[in-house]
Amino acid sequence: MDRKITVYSTATCPHCIRLKEFLKNNNVVFENIDVSSDPVRTDEMVKKSGQMGVPVIEIDGEIIVGFDRDAISQKLGI
């Protein structure tokens, strides 16, 4: 099944790095938005998640704030 997965992150935040590593290790394909260089997508993330912390992951329209390994694993079935 094809899922649309977007990660909003910065290059330096530890949990962003861990989240992306976690997805890569589980062969999950995702689009990465570096919010430090994309103000338009940053606003989009803030509107969608209602907060300003990174990382944020969007899985088929559902927002999970932070690197919540359990919630992400459950949603992705990994």
What part of residues 1-60 is at the interface with another protein (CB under 8 A)? 10, 12-18, 35-36, 39, 42, 46, 50-54
62 binds another protein (CB under 8 A): no
Nearer to another protein, 12 or 27 (CB): 12
From the CB of 31, what's the least distance to another protein, in Å? 18
Catalogue the long-range contacts made by 1-6 (C-beta closer than 8 Å, 24 or more residues apart).
Answer: 3/59, 3/60, 3/76, 4/58, 4/59, 4/60, 4/61, 5/29, 5/30, 5/31, 5/57, 5/58, 5/59, 5/60, 6/30, 6/31, 6/32, 6/33, 6/57, 6/58
- Give contact residues for another protein (rule: CB under 8 A): 10, 12-18, 35-36, 39, 42, 46, 50-54, 65, 69-70
